[in-house]
Amino acid sequence: MGERKAYPSDLTDEQWAVVGPFLQAWKAKHPSVSGHTGRYSLREIVNSIFYQNRTGCQWAYLPHDLPPKSATYYYFALWRDDGTDQAIHDLLRCQAREKAGRREDPSAVVLDTQSIRAANHVPAATTGKDAGKKVPDRYLELSDLVAV
C-alpha cells in the first residue's frame, strides 16, 4: 500500500510487537485454500478495524488509504467468530496485569448496581430495601445482568 500518514487509532510499533506475532501465527494456521497470501498486511487490517471502531464510520466509508471494507470486514468477522479477538483481549489483559505486578486473573470482582424502583406487580421475592440508600429496590440475579 505504500507509506501513509498514521491515524491516531493506528497501532504503535510497540503494540504491534505484542499483537503481530500472535496474528502471524494465526495466519500460518489458517492458510488460504487457494494459496493466496493476502494483498494487505495484517497490521493494516488491524489499523483499519481500529479506525472503524474508533470513528464509528460505516465499513464502506473507510478511508481509501486503508484496506477496503471487503478485506477489513472479512478478518473482523473471522476473528470475531473464531474467538481470535477474545484471545487477543485476554493476552493483552494478562500482560497488563503482569506488568502492574498482579496475577494474570483477578482474585475478586466488585459489582456495583443501581437501585431501581420496583413496580407494584413485581414479585415480593425479588424486591427488598437498599439499606445504604434507604429506598426499596429490586434484587437482580446474575442471569438478569447477563441478559441486560
Instruction: Name the residue range of residue 69's domain.
Output: 13-99
For 63-100, give one letter per residue: b (16+ CB within 10 A) or e. eeebbebebbbebbeebeeeebeeebeeeeeeeeeeee
CA atoms within 13 A on the CB side of 22: 17
Domain annotation covers residue 57: yes
Domain annotation covers residue 104: no
Confidence of residue 1 (pLDDT cuts 50, 70, 90): very low
Amino acid in the structure at residue 102: R
Domain annotation covers residue 72: yes
Average pLDDT over residues 17-45: 90
Domain annotation covers residue 6: no
Average pLDDT over residues 27-39: 85
Domain annotation covers residue 7: no
Domain annotation covers residue 4: no
> Does the structure show a pLDDT above 80 at 145?
no
Domain annotation covers residue 106: no
Domain shared by 20 and 89, yes or no: yes
Average pLDDT over residues 59-69: 95
- In what helix (H) or strand (E) does residue 48 lie, and over which residues does it extend? helix 42-55
* Rounded Cα–Cα distance for residues 73 and 45 (Å): 9
Place of cell 440475579: 141
- pTM beyond 0.85: the answer is no
Domain annotation covers residue 5: no
pLDDT tens string 83-113 = 999 999 998 888 889 889 988 877 777 766 6
Hey, which of 28-37, 60-69, 106-115, 133-142 has the most confident mean pLDDT?
60-69
Mean pLDDT of the chain: 82
> Does the structure show a pLDDT above 80 at 65?
yes
Domain shared by 20 and 93, yes or no: yes
